[in-house]
Chains A and B, each alone.
Chain A
């Protein structure tokens, strides 16, 4: 193994780790729950489409929803049982929304579907490999959930120089990747080999933060001699967000992923270590992605640990299993820096659930002070932005300006909010601005279409009007000719119409007088009417 030069990233934070608390015991499989709730969307992209009906019996590993689109991922039954419902259920999402989920009542028999192994993957071409990985439902397990097979396509023109496995796991509390690298180091390396074959990458790196000694040692020991020629297991400095994709690539290669670009533009592809392990399982054992390592940690549980959890298992069962205590008030999926709060713990574990952080509720937040432009946010921003300016313009809803200040290069790592002495929730403002801009763009697109439609309609109407005018003109001319002949009879007609109108008027007046019943009233009646009128008026004024 050669020694590698590492590059420094801009900004970043040294954060307290809170990692050892969940690493004291080996990862155990979580018990099989009675009910599994499987959202059709556990990834970035289009929802999967169910291929089972209510009442169907399913086997462990059987596909129950197929990818509905290129950017999508199928869902598999994590255990054998019966489909009892396909209905809306709350999913782990910041908004607490409910989406379509397949509900499976497990039978406890764990009967597997037939699995097709591909131990000879080196003979397969990249397309076939990608299809296997796609059919196994594998998505990025680091937290983003982007369908992995897409990122295993080198494309026609791109030469992949470096394939990076991201085992940095820089967020506090989370240890599932560290435990996986420790306990399944061989599987991680197998997965890396498969990915390397699909991408035909020249050089591979497994990057581990230097606070994970055990994971590093286990990986190095698991490396075969010939593998050491093209795989480097590298320790990177423990500095949040070292595991951010762009930051990690910079640290390892010195190259910066272009703003608005992708790693593949500079010949680099980056996958999470757990994704690599899942790839190995899918290709070598033929088993789809149905479970993952999950860290259950925080002061709200007495026994923080990592569990191998089947997708669809409710958070609540895992928290109970780890000893829910009185501090369990706030549930966060992911880490404290980039995760999101879940209002209710009845949501299921999905493919992107790397960590369940159980905390006590923060005491009432301090009064948010004005920005004093101290610039600490800019000093820690790994994207080299000026958060104080972005805040200023986001707050003023001056969204054009926020884009001048590169709002969309913000990776929402939370460093700026963490250091802000005024305790301004900066990232929250940036998310707000991004959402507003997206909405505006969508609306603009819609209004553009509407405007075009409107303009075409306008054109059509005008054309029609012009045509009508022309027709009328012709008619008028025709009429003029005829009228000249009729002129003499006009006066007699007019007199007849006037006489008819006078008759109608006279009749109406006669009717009106007859209908009046308020004439000749007694004083009492008049008084009553006045009262009623004033009440009506009051009621009207009030409303």
Chain B
């Protein structure tokens, strides 16, 4: 039926490439601030992940006898790689980013049928695999701003795992604000004690540095909503439910449960809400479905962060809700025009 052309004969000029490019542009402010606080490792990770993702995409497309050009230019592989790289710790060996990107593209994307058919968010599948396989590398972060590493130091570590003289990996790295709160709460400290114990880790409203990164990702996300590349439903539902959960428990016991602002700006909530959970392929389709999907992610993030085994929970929450998408879609079919008075 492809050789018959029926109406409409005109079309707007929106393409997948343009949408993905817009998302990539919207990541730039947050990424720049991220680099500012956590060094050039961010950039190196992005570079390695993108190169690996493109290479894997080309190879798999060739094997699957699919045209390479349209699927490389659509930008989805690049975006997957960038999102994965942004989720990684910034001082890591090169193979971590490469392995994650390869896993995301080959296993999570193409083994499920490629672009448009993957039920799980590829970047988050890659991240989850790395977190489970390499927990030590994946949870060790350098301190914001005070790490003292320049570009060549970071590149040296990435390629050869060599640090400048006098520096040791264990002394240099630490847990993320979310992670350290979790650990120390379990040791019986109160939130106030934890905040006071480490001035470099915590900022005004959340983790030091993290709060600015989150604000920039929030701005990027709002631009995407404004130019209608994403709809507001998933981010609003996700951040809203996360904030609601945080408020509920913080209100009942402020000593043991972190504040709303800490949950929204202390980890990867903004990146997750605007850039990861909104991946259309793996999200619910209808308006109502998107609200349920987003809210589910928000609630799961709070549960996993507070009572679960992992410090940050975006990846697992998104993947769990990806699983629920077919069911959400099935039960949220909108009423058709004229359904009220069926004759």
Is B338's CB under 8 angstroms from A261's CB?
yes
Q: Of all chain B residues, which has the CB nearest A357?
A: B9
On whether the beta carbons of B115 and A389 are closer than 8 Å, the reply is: no
Contact of A362 with B9 in the complex, beta carbons under 8 Å: yes
Interface positions, chain B 267-303, Cβ under 8 Å from A, are 280-281, 283, 285-286, 290
Q: A10-B337, A378-B285 are in contact. Are A366 and B15 (CB under 8 A)?
A: yes
Name the CB-closest residue of B to A368.
B2
Q: Which residues of B contact A10 (CB under 8 A)?
A: 337
Residues of chain A within 8 A of B1, CB atoms compared:
428-429, 432
- Given A256-B340, A384-B336, A421-B16 in contact, is the A375-B8 Cβ separation under 8 Å? no
> Does A543 have its Cβ within 8 Å of any Cβ on chain B?
no
Decide: A258 near B343, CB < 8 A? Known: A371-B116, A374-B280, A409-B336: yes
User: Within 8 Å CB of A409, what residues of B?
Assistant: 336-338
A29 interfacial contact with B, CB 8 Å: no
**Is B116 a contact of A372 with CB atoms below 8 Å?**
yes
Near A by CB (< 8 A), chain B positions 1-52 give 1-2, 4-12, 14-16, 18-19
State whether B342 touches A259 (Cβ < 8 A). yes
> A371–B118 Cα gap in the complex (Å)?
11
Contact B19 A336 (CB under 8 A): no
Closest to A414 in B: B8
**Which residue of B has the minimal Cβ distance to A404?**
B333
| Interface pair A246/B338, CB less than 8 Å apart | yes
Contact, CB under 8 Å: B338 / A256: yes
Say whether A172 faces chain B, with CB atoms less than 8 Å apart: yes
Instruction: Say whether B14 contacts A419, CB under 8 Å.
Output: yes
Contacts of B71 in A (CB 8 A): 369
Residue pair B285, A337 in contact (C-beta under 8 Å) = no
State whether B19 touches A374 (Cβ < 8 A): yes
Chain A residues, Cβ within 8 Å of B188: none
In the bound complex, residues from chain A placing their C-beta under 8 Å from that of B116 are 369-373, 422
Q: Is the CB of A332 within 8 A of B341?
A: no
Instruction: Return the contact of B9 from the options A341, A366, A379, A382 (Cβ within 8 A).
Output: A341
Say how far B1's CB is from chain A's closest CB, in angstroms. Answer: 6
Who on chain B is nearest to A340 by CB?
Answer: B7
B74 within 8 Å of A by Cβ? yes
A246 to B115, CA, bound (A): 37
Query: In chain B between 88 and 109, which residues have their CB closer than 8 angstroms to a CB of chain A?
Result: none
Q: Which residues of A contact B19 (CB under 8 A)?
A: 374, 421
B335 interface residue (CB < 8 Å to A): yes
B114 interface contact, C-beta 8 A? yes
B166 on interface, CB distance cutoff 8 Å:
no
- Please state if B343 and A378 are interface contacts (CB–CB under 8 Å): no
Would you call B334 an interface residue if the criterion is a C-beta within 8 Å of the partner chain's C-beta atoms? yes
List A contacts of B76 (CB < 8 A): 372
Decide yes or no: A369 and B9 within 8 Å by CB, A374-B280, A383-B337 being known contacts.
Answer: no
Q: Can you list, as one digit per residue, whether each of B37-73 has a CB less than 8 Å from chain A (1) or not (0)?
A: 0000000000000000000000000000001011100
A341: B residues at CB distance < 8 A: 5-7, 9
Q: Is the CB of A259 within 8 A of B70?
A: no
Q: Which single residue of chain B is at the shortest CB-CB distance from A405?
A: B333
Given A373-B280, A421-B19, A260 and B4 contact (CB-CB distance below 8 Å): no
Minimum Cβ distance to chain B for residue A194 (Å): 29
Question: For the complex, is B180 an interface residue (Cβ under 8 Å from A)?
Answer: no
Output the least CB separation between B304 and chain A (Å).
26
Chain A hits for B14, CB < 8 A = 376, 419-421
Chain B CB within 8 A of A24 CB = no
Contact of B8 among A370, A383, A386, A427 (CB under 8 A): A427
A266 at the interface (CB under 8 A from B): yes
Q: Is the CB of B341 within 8 A of A337?
A: no
Residues from chain B with a CB closer than 8 A to the CB of A266 are: 341
A256 near B337: Cβ-Cβ < 8 Å: yes
Assembly CA distance A369 to B15 (angstroms) = 9
Q: Mark A339-377, 1 if CB is under 8 A from B, else 0.
A: 111000000000000000101001001111111111110
Inter-chain CA distance A334–B333, complex, in Å, is 33
**Which of A172, A338, A388 is within 8 Å of B285, CB to CB?**
A388
Tell me whether A217 is interfacial, beta carbon within 8 Å: no
Report yes or no: B7 in contact with A370, Cβ–Cβ below 8 A. Answer: no
Question: Shortest beta-carbon distance, A535 to chain B, in Å?
Answer: 42
| Any B CB within 8 A of the CB of A313 | no
Assess whether A419 is in contact with B7, with CB atoms less than 8 Å apart: no
Q: Is the CB of A261 within 8 A of B341?
A: yes
User: Is the beta-carbon distance between B10 and A172 smaller than 8 angstroms?
Assistant: yes
- Consensus secondary structure, chain B interface: loop
Question: Is the Cβ of B12 less than 8 Å from the Cβ of A372?
Answer: no
Taking each of B1, B5, B8, B340, which has the highest tally of chain A beta carbons within 10 Å of its own beta carbon? B8
Contact between B115 and A338, CB atoms less than 8 A apart = no
Contacts of B339 in A (CB 8 A): 259
Name the contact of A340 in the complex, choosing from B6, B11, B343 (C-beta under 8 A): B6
Assess the B337–A369 pair: CB atoms within 8 A.
no
With a CB–CB cut-off of 8 A, which chain A residues contact B5? 341, 362, 365, 425, 428
B341 touches A386 (CB 8 A): no
Q: Which residues of A contact B334 (CB under 8 A)?
A: 378, 384, 386
Is B173 on the interface with A (CB-CB < 8 A)?
no
Interface check B231, CB cutoff 8 A: yes
Asked if A406 is at the interface (CB within 8 A of a chain B CB), the reply is: yes
Asked whether, in the complex, the Cβ of A418 is within 8 Å of the Cβ of B70, the reply is no
Contact assessment for A372 and B7 in the assembled complex, using a CB-CB cutoff below 8 Å: no
Identify which of residues 192-220 in chain B touch chain A, using a CB-to-CB cut-off of 8 Å.
Answer: none
Min CB–CB distance B171 → chain A (angstroms): 45
CB distance from B280 to the nearest CB of A (A): 4
Query: In the complex, are the beta carbons of A375 and B285 less than 8 A apart?
Result: yes
Q: Is B117 an interface residue (CB 8 A)?
A: yes
CA distance A261 to B337 in the complex (A): 11
B314-343: contact bitstring with A at CB < 8 Å (1 yes, 0 no)?
000000000000000100011111111111
Looking at the assembled complex, report how far the CB atom of B189 sits from the nearest CB atom of chain A, in whole angstroms: 45
The residue that B337 contacts in the complex, of A172, A259, A389, with Cβ under 8 A, is A259
B residues 226-285 in Cβ contact with A at 8 Å: 231, 280-281, 283, 285
B residues in contact with A417, CB < 8 Å: 8, 11
Instruction: Confirm or deny: A423 has a beta carbon within 8 angstroms of a beta carbon on chain B.
Output: yes
Closest beta carbon of chain A to B281's beta carbon, Å:
5
- Contact partners of A337 in chain B: CB under 8 A: 7-10
For residue A336, give the distance in angstroms from its CB to the closest CB of chain B. 4
CB distance from A288 to the nearest CB of B (A): 31
Contacting residues of chain A (367-416) with chain B, CB-CB under 8 angstroms:
367-376, 378-379, 382-386, 388-389, 405-406, 409, 412, 414
A256 — nearest CB in chain B belongs to which residue? B338
Contact with A418, one of B8, B285, B333, B341 (Cβ below 8 angstroms) = B8
Question: Shortest distance in angstroms between A420's beta carbon and chain B's nearest beta carbon?
Answer: 8
A362 proximity list for chain B (CB < 8 A): 5, 9
Q: How far is the CA of A256 from the CA of B12 in the complex (A)?
A: 29
Residues from chain B with Cβ under 8 Å of A371 in the complex: 116
Q: Across the interface, which residues of B come within 8 angstroms of A367, CB to CB?
A: 67, 69-70
Other than the given A384-B334, A421-B16, 15 more pairs (CB < 8 A) read: A260-B343, A336-B10, A340-B6, A340-B7, A341-B6, A359-B9, A369-B115, A372-B115, A374-B280, A384-B335, A386-B286, A417-B11, A427-B7, A428-B1, A432-B1
- A selection of 5 A-B contacts at a CB cut-off of 8 Å is A259-B339, A341-B6, A367-B69, A372-B116, A378-B286
Complex A-B, nearest 6 residue pairs according to Cβ-Cβ distance, in ascending order: A370-B116, A414-B8, A261-B343, A259-B338, A258-B343, A374-B280
